Amino acid sequence: MVKTIFVINPNSTQAVTDAFDEALNALRLPGGPKIECLTLAEGPPGIQSQMDVEQVTLPLVNLVKGLDAKHGAGAGAYVLACFSDPGLHAVREATTKPVLGISECGALTALTRGHRVGVIAILRQSIPRHGRMFGAMGLTERVVAEVPLGMNVVDLVDAERTRAGLLRAGKALRDEHLIDVVVLGCAGMAAHRAWLEEQLGVPVVEPTQAATAMAIGRTLLGW
Amino acid sequence: MVKTIFVINPNSTQAVTDAFDEALNALRLPGGPKIECLTLAEGPPGIQSQMDVEQVTLPLVNLVKGLDAKHGAGAGAYVLACFSDPGLHAVREATTKPVLGISECGALTALTRGHRVGVIAILRQSIPRHGRMFGAMGLTERVVAEVPLGMNVVDLVDAERTRAGLLRAGKALRDEHLIDVVVLGCAGMAAHRAWLEEQLGVPVVEPTQAATAMAIGRTLLGW
Amino acid sequence: MVKTIFVINPNSTQAVTDAFDEALNALRLPGGPKIECLTLAEGPPGIQSQMDVEQVTLPLVNLVKGLDAKHGAGAGAYVLACFSDPGLHAVREATTKPVLGISECGALTALTRGHRVGVIAILRQSIPRHGRMFGAMGLTERVVAEVPLGMNVVDLVDAERTRAGLLRAGKALRDEHLIDVVVLGCAGMAAHRAWLEEQLGVPVVEPTQAATAMAIGRTLLGW
Amino acid sequence: MVKTIFVINPNSTQAVTDAFDEALNALRLPGGPKIECLTLAEGPPGIQSQMDVEQVTLPLVNLVKGLDAKHGAGAGAYVLACFSDPGLHAVREATTKPVLGISECGALTALTRGHRVGVIAILRQSIPRHGRMFGAMGLTERVVAEVPLGMNVVDLVDAERTRAGLLRAGKALRDEHLIDVVVLGCAGMAAHRAWLEEQLGVPVVEPTQAATAMAIGRTLLGW
Amino acid sequence: MVKTIFVINPNSTQAVTDAFDEALNALRLPGGPKIECLTLAEGPPGIQSQMDVEQVTLPLVNLVKGLDAKHGAGAGAYVLACFSDPGLHAVREATTKPVLGISECGALTALTRGHRVGVIAILRQSIPRHGRMFGAMGLTERVVAEVPLGMNVVDLVDAERTRAGLLRAGKALRDEHLIDVVVLGCAGMAAHRAWLEEQLGVPVVEPTQAATAMAIGRTLLGW
Amino acid sequence: MVKTIFVINPNSTQAVTDAFDEALNALRLPGGPKIECLTLAEGPPGIQSQMDVEQVTLPLVNLVKGLDAKHGAGAGAYVLACFSDPGLHAVREATTKPVLGISECGALTALTRGHRVGVIAILRQSIPRHGRMFGAMGLTERVVAEVPLGMNVVDLVDAERTRAGLLRAGKALRDEHLIDVVVLGCAGMAAHRAWLEEQLGVPVVEPTQAATAMAIGRTLLGW
């Protein structure tokens, strides 16, 4: 049976979903798990505060429970595609399938591509929230710097402005903080990974790709 | 104006609220902030899973918003009286008043009473959840051991069984893990602090008292 | 019986004592613990070196022992009001009452007001000493930056120069180190907390207030 | 073009290679990357000392260089299937393809399946070597315990004895160290993952599967 | 000019001084620095509390200042031979010569002889004090366990009882905590290093030897 | 019997060996251990990549084994004089004599000369490699910054350019990162320690001196 990996955008901005959906094409295989991207209808346009995180948590749990009930063994794994990993541990309690957060998997994957990890956040106010997450993950020694774009999630549709910001933040991470691997700290930056990596000359990790990549393996293994 | 500190039990077990309400009498002063204990009607009987945490988060935010709207400057501070600190950071976004979690304040207070901190959890399954919290707080170096009672929140009304469990867990922390300060890892153990401290000969921190104690000062300072 | 919290300035600069004495007015309640501020006569004008720390340690122990003997149960708690927490652990051995250091309590309180904690030191040479303390407390993950004023304790009476320095240091912490909560790293800055918080738009913790606030609760609880 | 993931056993014990080769069947897809398992002819029967690690490092580099030269773009990724991650960082310098170590990926995957990670080592003497690795990875806060089997790599062919040892070590990790996820600390235990997970009632991570799972995604992404 | 390293026993128990004086014979060279062992007359019989630490701090500073004044360039370095490193940082401010603590140097030397470091303390009450020191040194990740003898400093003259205790504590560190290097946590155990190392089959570090060994080099280098 | 400490330069640049050989003169005593400096013929001109590290590892092991066989008890200790500590743990397995790495001993010695440790690397690409080492040592809390010279090992013969670079890097460490002790991150900078210390007004640790200093003591102690 072909299983499906559900990649869920907890915010309601379809352009974000569309962008990572396209970025995930590389992970779609004829005989492999299907990858289906969903947008959480109840979500705010962007997850930019702790309250935004909390407001999508139960809807995410319910969505996953519903998908699990509907698809049974056909549901292979769930990816929560927001860099705040909203509801990650609650969703894990709600299903026996693998559940992966993009913040978590973005950081873990970065650990295999460099030593000093830097993160590009959308907003400065995201940094303490991310700090709590990386602390909970026990990764504080390795995630050594975070620099904000100063852009809202919905503004990321402006590719030109986004790229200018990414380049500025990436250079600050590379040149001032001496990081040697960058993680994009929002699901809405998926279209720019390769471009930024080329510009910076430093590995760049796109977290929704990183998490979905891990989900494929976990789906196949069944654990 | 006399301000009120609202100490909110996120679970619906009134016996838990009653027990810490009584334990907070020592903190009630003629001219000081009022201390009012509330039980979250929507809460489950005990917060014992991440899902329990999530389910009370928005109700807690709404409760605090409502209290804030009703009492205005008369609301001095909020204490979330569950050792999982549910909704702590979301509630902080919802009000300008001080918001304190009992897990957080229990641990911080313990840091001033000993060096190696041990926690008595209700259930083994609480330990990873607490681990994520202490990691987020950056206190992993100091909170060195956690031992479970193996009792549900509602079972804590059985004082005899609870004391037997607390003594067993406390001795394990003291004698095997060499801790020199114990934190009670649930709001429902408030009646037993002094007894356990005497039995163990080691300082014991009751976290709802610890958090409310800090809330008094913060209320008076107004920051 | 009304208990007294003794807040002891280990340096001999009365202007420092006077400034935090006034800052503690907010914590004085009709029915609450009395708060009495003392200046250690034997202290140097400022605690600015490890030797300064050591020289006041035994005098502090003796002062506390004397107060304990004189006031008995009327002595509720002791606050050591110097950011080097001189003699903290020795004084704890000398009395059964709660003993709190302002460095310790300033940092612990900051943990509840933000994630990335920054400290404003008086002198650059204070930073390694503080680093040893924060290391001993196990808070290195959270206290992420420290910036010096470059002013001696006694020079802090020059309010204008002090404010200029605090603003410069606070902006460096906020804008270069991306901290989201500031701790004033000297008891002699107490008059400027509210002003600096307003200027920076970031929470600012005054450590003598923070410690005395915690001492009130501990005095009432009796543990 | 179908790419191949080369999973290299740095020791010369073919039974180890055979066992993980079979365990990797779940990861073989019709349209996915091929997974080819190799045994390093020059390797010792087991990597059980730092010297064993060093002796296979250059042969591994040369093997990878040779495969890279021979297969070009057809070589998708390399997995070093020994829990000491021998030569990991040197091999990364030798190719532009993803290179993953099983110790690294076993630990990283465990971080997504539980909070307190425990490792089952083959020999007690492996534990300091693993400790250096986990320290270099910055994962010391999360990898909280390691228990040895006390068996040589070549002895792992004795399935009955191995399972008895795994069960004993796993129970020690679960019951004494309160871990909630186990990592098998040797590539030669691959046949026993599911069995041990069922016996312990705790997630068990097989590191060669974990690393190859990650390699599939990285191969497809091309970064 | 032949320089002298002054190794100062901060407690007044001459038997402790005599024992490490003899243990330092191996470090005495015809053309090398002289090693002179002193007993602090003002010291208590053993440094067993924080108060004991504080009471010897200024006498140590004064002793070193006096030696410095008397010997000038002939004073090569100072070793503070108590495992609480009393006055270490104050003495460093009082002289430009190298000043080494035995706790510090014992731990640092242990880092070069094994990975997981265990310490044998004299008393259980020493462990929090040592914990604060290792925290200040930033060595908490490596110093993973400490086990007490339960003996006062003066009781260490009873060699038979001391050896029985050392063996019991050493075996607990080796077999329960899986440490691979032991540090003797008191200057009064110097006579038993070789014996314990042979008994345990694990490297044992004698801290006064470790510190004096480092002092020789530093004296010769002049920095 | 006079024992010999062998200080081995793993790179083949004789000028590097010559420079530290001269710097070690201060450690040569009439009756003390002989200090003999060797250049590894098989080494590359500089150890600048992980591959360089690996390529010298087995030659170093073989060299030490040969020296051990030839000199027997006359071989007192081995110092690996490259800041990447190549082969450190393998060489330790190959001999019962003390083996010390200069990165390790440079960092450990720095811990006794200041609190915030900064390192001057030769190349930016060295920083992740060093980061892995300091992580493995568990010293990440104390080694807080590293700044590269941007010079190859062989270019260090240009004293003027080297000093200009050291001064720039040292000032960055001192003024931007607020370090209070500097470690020279390459064996090839030995001639400049005193000069840089004077220029910066901050202690500077030369790691080959630091390691050889520790080796003298260990040789004399015989453990």
Residues in contact with E46: Cβ distance below 8 Å, sequence separation at least 6, in sequence order: E11, E13, E52, E122, E152, E153, E154, E188
Residues in contact with B182: Cβ distance below 8 Å, sequence separation at least 6, in sequence order: B110, B117, B118, B119, B120, B170, B173, B174, B196, B197, B200, B202, B203, B204, B205
> How confident is the model at residue C30, as a pLDDT?
87
SS3 E20: helix
Portion of chain F with pLDDT greater than 90, in percent? 98
> How confident is the model at residue F202, as a pLDDT?
98
- Answer yes or no: is pLDDT of C35 > 90: yes
Tell me the average pLDDT across F189-204.
98
E143 chain-C contacts, CB cut-off 8 A: none
DSSP 8-class letter at B104:
H
- Answer yes or no: is pLDDT of E166 > 90: yes
> How confident is the model at residue B218, as a pLDDT?
98
> How confident is the model at residue C31, as a pLDDT?
86
pLDDT-derived band at F152, boundaries 50, 70, 90: very high
Contact indicator for C107, C117 with CB cutoff of 8 Å = yes
Q: How far apart are the first and last CA of chain B?
A: 16
E115 chain-D contacts, CB cut-off 8 A: 127-129, 131-132
D180 chain-B contacts, CB cut-off 8 A: 127-128
B98 chain-C contacts, CB cut-off 8 A: 112
Please check whether residue D98 touches A, CB under 8 A. Answer: yes
> How confident is the model at residue A159, as a pLDDT?
95
Checking DSSP bridges between strand B34-39 and strand B75-80, what pairing results, if any? unpaired
Tell if the CB–CB gap between A178 and F132 is shorter than 8 Å: no
In whole angstroms, give the CA distance from residue E12 to residue B125.
52
Nearest residue to F28 (alpha-carbon basis) of F5, F1, F60, F49: F5
The answer to which of C185-189, D64-68, D203-207, F152-156 has the lowest mean pLDDT is F152-156
DSSP 8-class letter at E112:
T
In whole angstroms, give the CA distance from residue E105 to residue C186.
32
DSSP 8-class letter at D173:
I
Domain A104-206 of CATH type 3.40.50.12500 = yes
> How confident is the model at residue B1, as a pLDDT?
79
Contact indicator for F204, F99 with CB cutoff of 8 Å = no
How does the average pLDDT of chain E come out, rounded?
Answer: 97
Cα–Cα distances in angstroms (integers) from residue B16 to residues B13, B87, B213, F119, in the given order = 6, 19, 18, 54
DSSP string, D55-90: HHHHHHHHHHHHHHHHHGGGEEEEEE-STT-TTHHH
Tell if the CB–CB gap between B109 and C139 is shorter than 8 Å: no
Checking DSSP bridges between strand B143-148 and strand B204-205, what pairing results, if any? unpaired
Contact indicator for C129, C101 with CB cutoff of 8 Å = no
Is-same-fold flag (F4-101+208-221; F104-206)?
A: yes
Domain D4-101+209-221 of CATH type 3.40.50.12500 = yes
Contact indicator for E111, B99 with CB cutoff of 8 Å = no
Q: Which residues pair with A9 in a beta bridge?
A: A39
Q: Which residues pair with E9 in a beta bridge?
A: E39
Nearest residue of C to residue E62 by CA position?
C51
Cα–Cα distances in angstroms (integers) from residue F6 to residues C124, D26, D105, F11, in the given order = 41, 53, 39, 15
Tell if the CB–CB gap between F146 and A178 is shorter than 8 Å: yes
Q: Any idea what the Cα angle at residue D59 is, between residues D58 and D64, rounded to 5°?
A: 95
Class of domain C104-207: alpha beta
DSSP string, A124-184: TTHHHHHHHHHHHHT-TTTEEEEEE----GGGGG-HHHHHHHHHHHHHIIIIIS--SEEEE
SS3 E204: strand
Domain C4-101+208-221 of CATH type 3.40.50.12500 = yes
Q: Subunits touching A (CB < 8 Å, at least 3 pairs)?
A: B, C, D, F
In whole angstroms, give the CA distance from residue F22 to residue F41.
20
The residue type of D215 is A
In whole angstroms, give the CA distance from residue B54 to residue E58.
55
Cα–Cα distances in angstroms (integers) from residue E57 to residues D103, D215, E133, in the given order = 47, 58, 15
Q: Which two tokens stand for residue F171?
A: 């000032």
> How confident is the model at residue A30, as a pLDDT?
87
Residues in contact with B148: Cβ distance below 8 Å, sequence separation at least 6, in sequence order: B120, B121, B122, B123, B124, B126, B127, B169
SS3 F183: strand
Q: Subunits touching F (CB < 8 Å, at least 3 pairs)?
A: A, C, D, E
State the residue for tokens 């300072």: B221
Every domain of chain C and the residues it spans: 4-101+208-221, 104-207
Tell if the CB–CB gap between A31 and D30 is shorter than 8 Å: yes
- Answer yes or no: is pLDDT of C119 > 90: yes
Contact indicator for C111, C136 with CB cutoff of 8 Å = no
**Spans in chain A with pLDDT lower than 70:** none
Q: Any idea what the Cα angle at residue A35 is, between residues A30 and A36, rounded to 5°?
A: 135
In whole angstroms, give the CA distance from residue C78 to residue F124.
50
Helix axes A14-23, A207-221, angle to 10 degrees: 60
**Spans in chain D with pLDDT lower than 50:** none
In whole angstroms, give the CA distance from residue B219 to residue B97.
8
Tell if the CB–CB gap between C213 and B209 is shorter than 8 Å: no
Q: F88-105 pLDDT, tens per residue?
A: 999 999 999 999 999 999
> How confident is the model at residue E79, as a pLDDT?
98
Cα–Cα distances in angstroms (integers) from residue F95 to residues C164, F38, F90, F91, F223, in the given order = 61, 18, 9, 7, 12
Nearest residue to D78 (alpha-carbon basis) of D144, D160, D3, D15: D3
pLDDT-derived band at E31, boundaries 50, 70, 90: confident
How does the average pLDDT of chain C come out, rounded?
Answer: 97
Q: A180-203 pLDDT, tens per residue?
A: 999 999 999 999 999 999 999 999
Alpha helices in B11-125 (DSSP H): 14-23, 50-71, 88-94, 102-111
Please check whether residue C61 touches E, CB under 8 A. Answer: yes
Q: What are phi and psi of B140, to 5 degrees?
A: -60, -30
* Number of residues that this document lists for chain A: 223
Residues in contact with B160: Cβ distance below 8 Å, sequence separation at least 6, in sequence order: none
Q: Which C positions 113-132 lie with beta carbon below 8 A of chain F?
A: 124, 127-129, 131-132
D89 chain-F contacts, CB cut-off 8 A: 50, 129, 132
Cβ pairs bridging A and D (under 8 Å): 96
Tell me the average pLDDT across F31-37.
95
Q: How many helices, marked H, and strands, marked E, lie in chain C?
A: 8, 8
Q: B91-145 pLDDT, tens per residue?
A: 999 999 999 999 999 999 999 999 999 999 999 999 999 999 999 999 999 999 9
Tell if the CB–CB gap between C90 and E53 is shorter than 8 Å: yes
Tell me the average pLDDT across F165-175.
98
Spell out where chain E has E strands.
4-9, 34-39, 75-80, 99-101, 117-121, 143-148, 181-184, 204-205
- Answer yes or no: is pLDDT of E71 > 90: yes
Tell me the average pLDDT across F113-139.
98
State the residue for tokens 């029985």: E164
Encode burial over A113-129: b for 16+ CB neighbours within 10 A, e otherwise. bbbbbbbbbbbeebbbb
DSSP 8-class letter at E149:
-
In whole angstroms, give the CA distance from residue F106 to residue F108.
6
State the residue for tokens 């259930």: B123
Q: D86-127 pLDDT, tens per residue?
A: 999 999 999 999 999 999 999 999 999 999 999 999 999 999
In whole angstroms, give the CA distance from residue D166 to residue D163.
5
Among C100, C216, C221, beta carbon nearest to B112: C100
Q: Subunits touching D (CB < 8 Å, at least 3 pairs)?
A: A, B, E, F
Q: Which two tokens stand for residue B10?
A: 């996120």
> How confident is the model at residue A31, as a pLDDT?
87
Tell me the average pLDDT across E180-208.
98
